[in-house]
Amino acid sequence: MRFRSTRQQAPRVDLADALRAGLAPDGGLYVPEQFVAPPGSLRPLPMLAAQALAPYAAGTALATELPALCAAAFDFELPIQALGAHVAVAELFHGPTAAFKDYGARFLAGALSALRASDEPERCIVVATSGDTGGAVAAAFAERPGFRVLILYPDGRVSPRQAHQLACWPDNIRTLAVAGDFDDCQRLAKTLLARGQVGGLRLSSANSISIGRLLPQYSYAVYLALEAERRFGRSAEFIVPTGNLGNAYGAILAQRLGAPIARVVLATNANPTLAEFHDGAPYQPRAAIATLANAMDVGAPSNFERLRDLFGGDDESQRNAVPVIAVDDDAIRDAIRRAHREHGYLICPHTATAVVAAERRREAGSSAPQLLYATAHPAKFDTVVEPLLGQTVPVPPALAALLARPSRAIRVENEIDAVIAAGF
Ligand SMILES: *Cc1c(COP(=O)(O)O)cnc(C)c1O
């Protein structure tokens, strides 16, 4: 199987090269040249994922590694909680850093490790993060021979527990708290990655455009589609909290390739880019605005180009196929309170956008059963959730273990030379 760039100006490569490169050399995003229908019978996630991804790894050293890779990357629970007769919540946050990004980061790290020759020089993974990506990538690469990680995050703009989790790692991970916002961090990371290396150390990206993060998200969408169909007796509508469109792309791909999903609905926060596009405006990226669902504070969703490619550039059919529902901070607060009051269920601010979007779909006449993605554990966002509920949120053991470690980020100016001096 070969992968092509969404911009069509780069050579086709196999999965191994697409993983190592991150972005295609023409600035586009890698997508498979052909799509293969997913498996149709339910199995445990690691087995099903290996089966679903096999066609894409064909012809690379990863082909034989997939079963072991998926078993190691997805070795934690994926519970599904009922929230009423026709609504279920898929808890994607039971990995080491308590957010769904553990799936993609662990798969990518395992794949890059498997592809690495033992005599290959060290590689540094550079990642700009608005909160959850950095921790997941750090956890996935911590103490992996041959890899270092450099994390850039906006100082003061992530939750205190996210900040702790970004900087509590062994020596092969270095964390910089940048005096700037997420876009500044992203720009600094891009500047570094464009150089390709610093002082002889080769740099690679792990941001959400990596196909190595999307494929695992596609594989659990297939699993959840089959599991939801088994529970509800028919295919469910998936509601996905969305920022950079990585998680949602996996679900939309699964649906278009034939997995039993009635529809994929995007739930966003108050950042309006996707909702405006859905309502008929031309696609127009904007500056990100800060909301309670900070991991979705995105004004220029990085996978939009990939989604548009999936629809062959036909914006109208994309708008019809993929509804977008924007949820503001007041509605997020209200949903967190009501989920607790009505169901005794604790949700994070991101998952709250899915809860509200699901309600609005039902009010608008949708009668399909609904599967909501829960993208982070509420204990990660205790400073938002606890004051609303007037009680503490129990911390899951994996997160408690991280919070018990010492944590130290290096503060740096928003400036490339300062980043290089502190980072390498
Ligand atoms: C990253 C993240 C999202 C958004 O996912 P995308 O793939 O960027 O759309 C939603 N919720 C949480 C908790 C996240 O960490």
CB 367 within 8 A of CB 379: no
Identify residue 173 by its one-letter amino acid code. Answer: I
**Of residues 109, 195, 114, 193, the one with CA closest to residue 152:** 193
* Rounded distance from Cα 215 to ligand 1 centre (Å): 15
The alpha carbon dihedral of 353, 356, 357, 358 has a sign of positive
Q: Are 73 and 103 in contact (CB under 8 A)?
A: yes
One-character DSSP codes across 371-393: EEEE-B-GGGGHHHHHHHHTSPP
- 421 CA from centroid of ligand 1 (Å): 30
The amino acid that residue 75 corresponds to is: D
**Relative orientation angle of helices 211-232 and 66-73, to the nearest 10 degrees:** 70
| Cα–Cα distance, 355 to 345 (Å, whole number) | 12
Three-state SS at 336: helix
121 Cα–ligand 1 center, Å: 32
pLDDT of residue 21: 86
- 131 CA: nearest ligand 1 atom: 15
* CB 12 within 8 Å of CB 33: yes
Burial of 34 (0-12, 13-18, 19+ CB in 10 A): exposed
Contact 164, 138 (CB under 8 A): no
CA 302 to ligand 1 center in whole angstroms = 12
Q: From ligand 1's centre to the CA of 57, what distance in Å?
A: 25
Q: Residue 79 class from Cβ within 10 Å (0-12 exposed, 13-18 middle, 19+ buried)?
A: exposed
Residue nearest to atom 2 of ligand 1 (CA): 295
Identify the burial level of 85 via C-beta atoms within 10 angstroms of its C-beta, where 0-12 means exposed, 13-18 middle and 19 or more buried. Answer: exposed
**In a 3-state reduction of DSSP, which class is residue 308?**
helix
Question: Residue 207: what pLDDT?
Answer: 83
Contact residues for 271 (Cβ-Cβ < 8 A; gap 6+): 243, 286, 288, 289, 291, 296, 297, 298, 299, 326
Ligand 1 pocket, mutate which of 89, 100, 252, 380 (most atoms under 8 A from CB): 100
Compute the distance from residue 250 Cα to the ligand 1 centre, in Å.
Answer: 12
Atom of ligand 1 nearest to the CA of 249: 7
| pLDDT digit string (tens) for the chain, length 424 residues | 999 999 999 999 999 999 988 889 898 999 999 999 999 999 999 999 999 999 999 999 999 999 999 999 999 999 999 998 999 999 999 999 999 999 999 999 999 999 999 899 999 999 999 878 999 999 999 999 999 999 999 999 888 999 999 999 999 999 999 999 888 898 899 899 888 899 889 999 888 889 999 999 999 999 999 999 999 999 999 999 999 999 999 999 999 999 999 999 999 999 999 999 999 999 999 998 999 999 999 898 999 999 999 999 999 999 999 999 999 999 999 999 999 999 999 999 999 999 999 999 999 999 999 999 999 999 999 999 999 999 999 999 999 999 999 999 999 999 999 999 999 9
Q: Give first-to-last CA distance, the chain, whole Å.
A: 36
- Using CA positions, which residue lies closest to atom 7 of ligand 1? 246
CA of 91 to the centre of ligand 1 (A): 13
Tell me which of 242, 271, 375 to substitute to probe ligand 1's pocket, judged by most ligand atoms within 8 Å of the beta carbon. Answer: 375
The closest-lying atom of ligand 1 relative to the alpha carbon of residue 245 is: 9
Around 40, how many Cα atoms within 13 Å sit in the side-chain half-sphere? 4
Tokens of 367: 């009668």
Ligand 1: nearest atom to the Cα of 348: 13
Protein residue with its CA nearest to atom 14 in ligand 1? 295
Q: Ligand 1: which of 93, 297, 350 to mutate, most ligand atoms within 8 Å of CB?
A: 350
Give the whole-angstrom CA distance, residue 340 versus residue 40.
35
- Please name the residue that has the structure tokens 């390498």: 424
| Contacts of 246 by beta carbon, 8 Å cutoff, 6+ apart | 104, 208, 209, 213, 214, 217, 302, 303
Counting from 1 in the atom list of ligand 1, the atom nearest the Cα of 246 is: 7
CB 125 within 8 A of CB 149: yes
Pocket-testing residue among 94, 97, 101, ligand 1, by greatest number of atoms within 8 A of Cβ: 101
Task: Take atom 8 of ligand 1 and give the residue whose Cα is closest.
Answer: 244
Six-digit token pair at 209? Answer: 């455009």
Span from the CA of 241 to the centroid of ligand 1 (angstroms): 7
Distance 191 CA to ligand 1 centre (A): 24
CB-based pocket (< 6 A), ligand 1? 99, 101, 132, 208, 241-248, 295-296, 350, 375-376
Q: Which residues contact 162 (CB under 8 A, 6 or more apart)?
A: 131, 132, 135, 380
- Cα 11 to middle of ligand 1, angstroms: 30
Q: Which of 103, 108, 127, 132 to mutate to test the pocket of ligand 1 (most atoms within 8 A of CB)?
A: 132
Which residue type occupies 351?
Answer: T
Report the alpha-carbon distance of residue 142 to residue 169 in Å, rounded: 7
Confirm if 216 and 49 have CB atoms less than 8 A apart. Answer: yes
